[in-house]
Amino acid sequence: MKFGKLLWMFNSSKVRASKWGKKYKVKTIIIQKEEEAKFLYKLASKYANYNIVELGRKYGGSAVVMGSALRREGGTGRIYSVDLSEDHYEFSKEFIRDMGCLDYVELIKSNSQVYPLDYEINDVAFVLFDATHDYDIMKEFNVWYDRIMPNGYMIIHDYGMEKHEGVTRAVDDFVVQHGLKISDKVGRIAVIRKLK
């Protein structure tokens, strides 16, 4: 599916009017802003034959954005989408299925701060960090950094937000510890490229 077909997800009145909005009384089906989602869509399109890890799925909006990119490209990659919440699990699964993306998304019910031992996840092109919103996000960085392929990316949502100062501090500390740098900022997203 083209990115343009997903634009309704960023319009709360359209979300509310949809069966998803009615069923679950949500007005926000995706937490990413449009420019952030567009960036994720482009990155997923580029790496459609590699794997993507998403930490924090909630209703499945960002999984659908990236899954739509993989599907459009006919990619062999998968999105390993980790979330601990019972509340959103069925909703997100149904939403992802109805949007035609379930073949591309593996839903994992697990704590994002530990590696999901039932899975073997290799060739990770990038990880979207959008679960832990305090300094403990460092645990996620430590779990996933070594599993990202050379020249792959860490994509961290909510960097530089006053409300999530622990995320910003953890990113800044991690970058220094590993001799990295923030290569790009897209809305609230910080992009870090992993060196070889």
State which H helix or E strand residue 173 sits in.
Answer: helix 165-177
Does residue 152 interact with ligand SAM by CB under 6 A? no
Does residue 131 interact with ligand SAM by CB under 6 A? yes
**Do 134 and 164 form a contact (C-beta atoms < 8 A)?**
yes
Q: Which stretch binds ligand SAM (CB under 6 A): 41-49, 57-65, 148-156, 182-190?
A: 57-65
If binding means CB under 6 A, how many residues of this protein chain bind ligand SAM? Answer: 19
Question: Which member of 39, 69, 105, 113 binds ligand SAM (CB under 6 A)?
Answer: 113
Q: Which residue is nearest to ligand SAM (CB)?
A: 56
State which H helix or E strand residue 191 sits in.
Answer: strand 189-193
Considering only residues 58 to 87 of the shown chain, the ones binding ligand SAM according to CB under 6 A are 58, 61-62, 82-85
**Do 9 and 30 form a contact (C-beta atoms < 8 A)?**
yes
Sheet containing 124-129: order of strands: 105-109, 79-83, 51-55, 124-129, 148-156, 189-193, 182-186
Point out which residues bind ligand SAM (CB under 6 A).
30-32, 56-58, 61-62, 82-85, 88, 111-113, 130-132
